[in-house]
């Protein structure tokens, strides 16, 4: 899904891409079954996340916690797609809570909420790992799955 769509924000890119992807996924589910279709979709989305992580590290000229926070603010949260509060930022740790996720709102509005975690949240861990192989994402809650916040903790090991 990572494409060169000009200067379109991630949120607008998802609005363009995801209806087609959801229709494809629904058709695959009807043909090969839910578990197998979702396994393929998850694998594909994670590979896309890895590619995006490498691209962002190159584009931003670094891959430390401070640069990742810039990526989150400038790319993930562009057009107020995410509202988040930073709880802790050190050289080796970044903790923040997402308090509003317009990606989740978009998928709900498009009638594809059931695929939201797969399409968006599922790519976060591989993206962060590809951004910096020493980074590890810990997260126990997501708005996409019905929680009030997304609790991100990224540790540099």
Q: Let me know the angle formed at the C-alpha of 31 by 26 and 34, rounded to the nearest 5 degrees.
A: 60
pLDDT-above-90 percentage for the chain: 94
pLDDT digits (tens, 9 = 90+) for 114-148: 999 999 999 999 999 999 999 999 999 999 999 99
Report the CATH superfamily, name and number, of domain 10-156: Trafficking protein particle complex subunit 3 (3.30.1380.20)
82: left (phi over 0), alpha (psi -120 to 50) or beta: beta
CA distance 31 to 86: 44
pTM, to two decimals? 0.90
More confident residue, 87 or 10: 87
pLDDT at 5: 55
* Statement: residue 7 has pLDDT above 90: no
pLDDT digits (tens, 9 = 90+) for 8-22: 888 999 999 999 999
pLDDT digits (tens, 9 = 90+) for 35-67: 999 999 999 999 999 999 999 999 999 999 999
pLDDT at 3: 46
pLDDT at 2: 45
- Domain positions in the chain are 10-156
10 Cβ contact list (under 8 Å, min separation 6): 75, 76, 78, 81, 103
């Amino acid at each position: 899904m990572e494409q060169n769509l000009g200067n379109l924000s991630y949120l607008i890119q998802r609005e363009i891409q995801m209806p087609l992807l959801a229709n494809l996924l629904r058709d695959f589910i009807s043909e090969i079954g839910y578990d197998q279709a979702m396994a393929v979709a998850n694998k594909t989305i994670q590979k896309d996340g890895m590619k995006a992580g490498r691209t962002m590290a190159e584009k931003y000229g670094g891959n430390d916690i401070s640069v990742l926070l810039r990526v989150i603010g400038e790319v993930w949260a562009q057009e107020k797609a995410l509202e988040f509060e930073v709880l802790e930022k050190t050289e080796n740790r970044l903790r923040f809570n997402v308090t509003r996720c317009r990606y989740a709102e978009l998928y709900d509005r498009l009638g594809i909420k059931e695929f939201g975690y797969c399409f968006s949240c599922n790519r976060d861990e591989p993206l962060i790992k590809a951004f910096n192989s020493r980074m590890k994402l810990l997260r126990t809650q997501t708005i996409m799955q019905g929680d009030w916040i997304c609790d991100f903790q990224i540790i540099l090991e």
